[in-house]
Amino acid sequence: MAILIDENSKVVVQGITGREGQFHALRNRDYGTKIVAGTRPGKGGEQVESIPIFNTVQEAIDETGANVALTFVPPAFAKDAVLEAAYADCQLIVCITEGIPAKDEAEMYNLIKNNTKSKLLGPNCPGLISPGKSNVGIMPHEITLPGNVGVVSRSGTLTYQAVHELTQLNIGQSTCIGIGGDPVPGMSFIDILKEYQEDEETNAIVMIGEIGGTAEEEAAEYIKNNITKPVVSYIAGVTAPPGKKMGHAGAIVSGNKGTAKAKMEALEEAGVLVVSNPTKIGKAVKEVI
């Protein structure tokens, strides 16, 4: 099985007429994902290689039954695009856009949580893939393998590395997810861990964190109390100097908070197998399964 998306997911691509939107929409469709529609205000009635374009998400949903939105909209307009999809009752919104102001992210998060039933993945994330079933985002499907290990990460590129390490050892994945590295992500580690725990065909979990914030410590507490499946983790940023942002907007150590050491200790205390190098993830998963 898979979480959040599967072979039945129907995707509407917001911003399908842009370079990135069109490229990944067609790439995902070629993989087998049901890309049923795109949106671009003023372009309704046109097509992108037989994919119909609508002026609004609501029109796309009414005509095609789309239930997942994939958002490639510039930062200045991304908040409005995400909220449009949420108020149209999209079950899942995957926002790839990088550089959205933190204020907009906070407003998006609060409005979606308090006024809709939608789930938001991202912003500034690579999306997710359920290998062999559906790819919604920018993840390279070539390195994936269908199987039973769930992968969740704040970092897109570390997601790719973890998946590649697993595939090299012939260890398949159920769903691979990048939640994004911004200070205000939609779905959290805990949200994804809960989904994996309830998924009958996910037998083990890989969680990749990084410096900054308290998401990993909160996840460790949740794992200790709620997760019965084996968890392998890697935390990036061991050598990062305090006060310097490392890559992601949320990856910054402030005083004694958010350090890699503190996160690793919390996870180890929760019974998680923590590795010191991402190249060790595959072998660690092989051990626990």
pLDDT at 126 > cutoff 80:
yes
- Give 3-state DSSP helix, strand, coil % of the chain, rounded to 5: 35, 25, 40
Please indicate, yes or no, whether residues 162 and 237 belong to a single structural domain of this protein: yes
DSSP 15: T
Domain that holds residue 44: 10-121
Q: What was the pLDDT predicted at 213?
A: 84
**24, 141, 164, 248: which is the annotated catalytic residue?**
248
Ranking 32-41, 160-169, 232-241, 266-275 by mean pLDDT, the lowest is 232-241
Q: Tell whether 130 is covered by a domain.
A: no
Please indicate, yes or no, whether residues 157 and 75 belong to a single structural domain of this protein: no
Q: What was the pLDDT predicted at 288?
A: 95
Please indicate, yes or no, whether residues 111 and 197 belong to a single structural domain of this protein: no
Ranking 144-158, 204-218, 235-249 by mean pLDDT, the lowest is 235-249
Candidates 231, 234, 235; CA nearest to 222 is: 231
Q: What angle do CA 15, 175, 98 make, to 5 degrees?
A: 35
* 248 is a catalytic site residue: yes
Q: Which two tokens mark 267? A: 């996870």
Task: Give the pLDDT band (50/70/90) at residue 238.
Answer: confident
Give the C-alpha separation, 289 to 285, whole Å. 6
Q: What was the pLDDT predicted at 237?
A: 79
Task: Give the pLDDT band (50/70/90) at residue 178.
Answer: very high
- For residue 147, the domain's CATH number is 3.40.50.261
Residue finishing a domain among 93, 121, 149 = 121
Which whole number is the average pLDDT over 160-174?
Answer: 97
Which whole number is the average pLDDT over 259-267?
Answer: 93
Q: What was the pLDDT predicted at 211?
A: 87
Q: How many domains does the chain have?
A: 2
What amino acid occupies position 264?
M
pLDDT at 247 > cutoff 80:
no
Please indicate, yes or no, whether residues 116 and 161 belong to a single structural domain of this protein: no
Query: What are φ and ψ of residue 136, in 5° steps?
Result: -120, 95
